Amino acid sequence: MGRETIFERRTDCPERTAEAGAELARWLIGRGGGAFVAIYGELGAGKTAFVAGFAEAWAPEAVARSPIHSPTFTIVEEYGGTQASRRLIHMDLFRINTARDLYSVGFDEYMEQVERPAGGVATACCAEFAQRFDSPELAPLLPQRHVRVEITAWADGCRNISADVV
């Protein structure tokens, strides 16, 4: 099974990076169901700005109550509850090094919510620093079917963003 390109964008500011995130969310909403979004990029690449835009389109009522911020220290933030039509799980894998670390934050339960929505609530999980899945120990935990987003920051302040279904 190959990749299906969703889009490739060059952005010049955080707002445009957020718009790319919103575009991906709208694309996924159109397909129905949940999704695992693996976001690759170095520190400062714009991953959280991308997730903020994604969240505004995916679960706007949840974001209105609790703005998106990087979960670097909490590792996971949840947006939207049982009354929402869609939920967002926002993970930052920067501090994750082992499968044990990943399971300790509830990764398997979150993947269950993405793959088998309960009560008609579609769940998306956006995982920043997805390059952690490149390690031999974590690679088997990356869902086979996912969206791969790669964000590359350039010295001129622009970002290249690509999104593909894998």
For residue 111, the enclosing domain spans 4-165
The predicted pLDDT at position 64 comes to 64
Number of domains in the chain: 1
pTM of the model: 0.92
Query: pLDDT tens-digit profile of 36-67?
Result: 999 999 998 999 999 999 999 998 877 666 77
Read off the CATH number of the domain in which 122 is found.
3.40.50.300
Query: pLDDT tens-digit profile of 3-35?
Result: 899 999 999 999 999 999 999 999 999 998 889
Q: Who's near 70: CB < 8 A, 6+ residues apart?
A: 47, 48, 92, 128
Query: pLDDT tens-digit profile of 78-135?
Result: 888 656 688 999 999 999 999 999 999 999 999 999 988 777 788 999 999 999 999 9
